[in-house]
Amino acid sequence: MNVGRHERAAAPRGLTATVMAQPLPRVTAALAVLCVGWFVLNVGSPSGSPFVAWALSALCCALAAFACARVARLSGLAAPTRRFWRHFAVALSVILLALGSNAYDAVAGPLAPTQRVSGLTTALYLTAVAVFLWALLRLPVTRRSREAWLTLGLDTGVVVLAAGLFAWYFVLRGSSELAFTTGSDLTAVAIITLGGIDILAAVKLALTGTGPMDRGVMWILGLAVLMGAGCGALMPLLRTSPHITTTHLSIPVIAFLVAVAAEWQRHAPARGTARRAARRRPFSLLPYAAIAATDVLLLVSTWNASQEIRLVVTGSIALTALVVVRQITAFYDNANLLARLDASMLDLSRHEQRFRSLVQNSSDVITVTAMDGTYTYISPSFESVLGRPAEHYIGRTLREFTHPEDLPVLQDMRDRLARDPGLTITCQARMRHADGNWRWLEVVATNRVDDPSVQGIVGNTRDITETKRAQDQLAHQATHDALTRLANRTLFTARASEALAEAGTGSVALALVDLDDFKAINDRLGHAVGDALLTVVADRLRRCARPGDTVARLGGDEFAVLLRGVSPQETCRVAGEILATLRTPINALGYDMLVQASIGLVDGGAGMDASELLRRADVAMYAAKEQGKSRSVRYSPDMDDRAAEHARMGADLQRALAGGELFLLYQPVVTLPHGDLSSVEALIRWRHPERGLVSPAEFIPVAEHNGMIVRLGDWVLREACRQMAEWKRDYGDAAPSRVGVNVSARQLREPAFAQTVADVLAETGLRPSDLLVEITETAVFDDGPAVETVAAIQALGVAIALDDFGTGHSSLGLLRTCPVDILKVDKLFVDEVTGTAEQAAIATSLAQIARALGLGAVAEGVETPAQAMRLYQMGYRLAQGYHFSRPLSAEDLGGLLAAGGRGPDAVEPPALAS
């Protein structure tokens, strides 16, 4: 606060220095000083030509007129200000003429030297004063009330009356002398009039304010008026010095002050148009100063009176002073009270403006409604919500614009609010937009009927249409599959639970659909094709379902169809329709393919929940896959027995792997036609402590299902390599050239499987060329990570055999993309080699393909000499099967090696046999 005061004080000082640095005020000041000096030197007796004083005074007046005219031409000033300075320049020009006439009267007139002025001179002076007064009176003043004008009139009367007393006491009492000095009573009256006008001008400046004029300028001009009046009061004192006049003193001083005021006005705009107005005193001190001066005059005039009169006068003056002080104190108290009131009103206005701005610019809508729902107030932002101005809804009810389904919600809200004043309730409803659409609005309503300033229900309303839409989308995403737009597992479980709770036994059924071999298709052709395929399958399942049924994607390639109000026969019909529609070729991103599915069917039973329903359907679906896929199987309780048996077998298999119940048999691979041992294939067997020997056909699927196949495969690999290394040490060149180990697709998907093979070879000391890894076509059909793993194994020096070739996803392209060294032809084709030429054609073609690609070919499942002979004739040089040898234990195979490695059933070539 002090800093602001210092800044305001520093500004005038800086402007004063700027003004006084200008040439025009400096020259005028110098001339005024010369005039004052000449006047002082000539008081009493002449000491120079009076022409000097008149010339200097005229020059000062001319410079002041020029300064005023220059300011009047400034375009940056307000029009009233420029007009004021223009009139002032005219007044000074008239004074310049009056000076010429006055100089003639005083120096060259018939009565020279004299202080008497002619009628012309007096008229010119009066004209100049009239122009000045006109300029002053035309300045606009602050608009005032009738009471304010009355106060101004009273203050003016006090000042003028006091000034009149002083004028009478000091001047008019010697009016005869004044007339003698001026030369006529008319001139004396004119001089007195001039003095009165000066007093009125000073009062006007002091009481009415500055209007558009700079406040500093008006203070300087007021000082000039007072200086002129003061100099004029000295005229009776110069009666004995006719060669000088107070004009020599007043005109230069007034001209200097006018020049300073003009220069001040000229530089005042540089301080900025946003200059803060100076704080005004709440009342004028001038009337009280006039009263104080009159009291002093009264005291002086009665000083020589009797003691009683002086006592009365002194007491009266003291009482007057106390009353004045009391009133001034009251003024200040009132001013402080008004200031606080103004501050409070300003603060209230700011709060009101802030609240109004918040209400008008907020996206939320503020409404006031009567208890019957009629709008009595709506904030302007309602137009941005419903598309119509707020005035459109005033006097109308909510019912007219609310969605019919939401009217009960609003009615319930009004009923609750009516019962409990002050209660706040939040509800959501739809209201019609100007474009005809429905918009969701959230209303937070509070009962303010008892509040006299409100008398209604205040509602804070906001548009939540986009929020509702987003919530609906999120809810849909949370309960639906993003790819197929079908219900997901969450929604399916909820609907299944609902259906089971509502329906009777046998009226709810579930068809669990799992695509056969989808992973191979997905990995082979890419996920984009797989996704497109799933989308088509989902559309076909929708068409198979009935109205009211629920089709869901539970995950991956697994779908579910929840059927309500169906019989077992109807369930089978739907399953058959699903299988039939899936047999139609599907085009997915340009790929035509046939898709098959295994379906598990289950009927809902008493006390069954959704999870049990899904479990039973899953059991039935796996039974369908075990039975050959592409079929539907209905759940039966004995399937749980099989599932339980699989679970027990899985647990036993865990124990068997750790307890040494597993062992390997080795089936020889022999050369044709002589039957010499070439290599062996390691085959896993399980000797269960209770069940005896368990077929791999029983426990391998269990291991595939529960994930044990990886550990099982690693054990087979390690044991086979250890045994092969032992044979190499014991029998040297007589040992088998290779040991074949079957590797599952699950093992090939393990990122570190190639490293596992390398580690096993290093641990057992077996050369990579002594190991043959046998894989299936399905395992590498995807041409993805599995093929990369096979390539990494082959890079170690390990041979790769493609087992059961021709029965899986056979493709000649597979032989190009997958690194293969040997083709093992499946027993299915070997069985037909002794049949017709057409039946044997596949086996013949496979042998030719192998030779063309430089691959070895092994015929599997050879069981008769005729088959062996025919295979030899087709070009096969390696074979295995029961005709040559059943799988042997490591000890039995060692005995065979000791006997020379010759199989029991050799085949001599026909040419040699003859």
Q: How many CB atoms lie within 10 A of CB 909?
A: 13
Q: Give yes or no for a contact between 581 and 568, defined as CB atoms under 8 angstroms apart.
A: no
The 3-state secondary structure of 180-246 reads HHHCCHHHHHHHHHHHHHHHHHHHHHHHHCCCCCCHHHHHHHHHHHHHHHHHHHCHHHHCCCCCCCC
111 and 250 fall within a common domain: yes
3-state class (DSSP) for residue 884: coil
* Amino acid 483: pLDDT: 92
* Amino acid 631: pLDDT: 92
In a domain, 329, yes or no: no
711 and 592 fall within a common domain: no
74 and 179 fall within a common domain: yes
Strands 771-776 and 799-805, sheet pairing: parallel
User: What's the CA gap between 509 and 711, in Å, rounded?
Assistant: 39
- Joined together, the tokens standing for residue 138 give 């035309």
In a domain, 375, yes or no: yes
Q: Give residue 463's domain range.
A: 362-469
**CATH code, 386:** 3.30.450.20
734 and 687 fall within a common domain: yes
Q: 888 forms bridges with which residues in the sheet?
A: 666
In a domain, 13, yes or no: no
Residue type at position 47: S
134 and 221 fall within a common domain: yes
**Domain end marker among 233, 262, 277:** 277
In a domain, 65, yes or no: yes
**Domain end marker among 635, 656, 675:** 635
67 and 162 fall within a common domain: yes
404 and 539 fall within a common domain: no
**CATH code, 159:** 1.20.1070
User: What's the CA gap between 401 and 398, in Å, rounded?
Assistant: 6
Q: How many CB atoms lie within 10 A of CB 455?
A: 13
Q: How many CB atoms lie within 10 A of CB 599?
A: 26
Which residues are CB-neighbours of 90 under 8 A, at least 6 positions away?
Answer: 131
**CATH code, 569:** 3.30.70.270
Q: Give yes or no for a contact between 643 and 625, defined as CB atoms under 8 angstroms apart.
A: no
**Domain end marker among 591, 617, 635:** 635
489 and 464 fall within a common domain: no
In a domain, 143, yes or no: yes
Q: For residue 440, what is the DSSP state?
A: E
* Amino acid 40: pLDDT: 76
3-state class (DSSP) for residue 286: helix
Backbone dihedral region for residue 854 (phi beyond 0: left; psi -120 to 50: alpha; all else: beta): left
52 and 176 fall within a common domain: yes
Please give the average pLDDT of every successive group of 10 residues along the chain, which has 914 residues: 45 68 85 82 70 84 90 84 87 87 73 67 82 75 66 70 64 49 47 53 52 72 70 60 73 87 76 43 66 75 78 84 84 84 82 67 77 82 81 84 87 84 86 88 84 80 84 83 92 91 75 87 80 94 91 94 90 93 89 89 85 92 86 89 82 89 95 92 94 89 85 95 95 94 89 94 96 86 76 95 70 75 90 84 90 92 94 94 94 87 48 31
103 and 136 fall within a common domain: yes
366 and 495 fall within a common domain: no
In a domain, 370, yes or no: yes
Q: Residue 78 to residues 85, 89, 140, 220, 298: CA-CA distances in angstroms?
A: 11, 17, 11, 19, 46
**CATH code, 840:** 3.20.20.450
In a domain, 314, yes or no: no
Domain count, the chain: 4
- Joined together, the tokens standing for residue 70 give 């220059």
Number of helices followed by number of strands (H, E) in the chain: 32, 21
Q: How many residues does the chain have?
A: 914
User: What's the CA gap between 543 and 566, in Å, rounded?
Assistant: 17
Residue type at position 513: V
608 and 690 fall within a common domain: no
In a domain, 150, yes or no: yes
- Element at 738 (helix H, strand E): none
User: What's the CA gap between 680 and 727, in Å, rounded?
Assistant: 12
Q: Give yes or no for a contact between 689 and 653, defined as CB atoms under 8 angstroms apart.
A: no
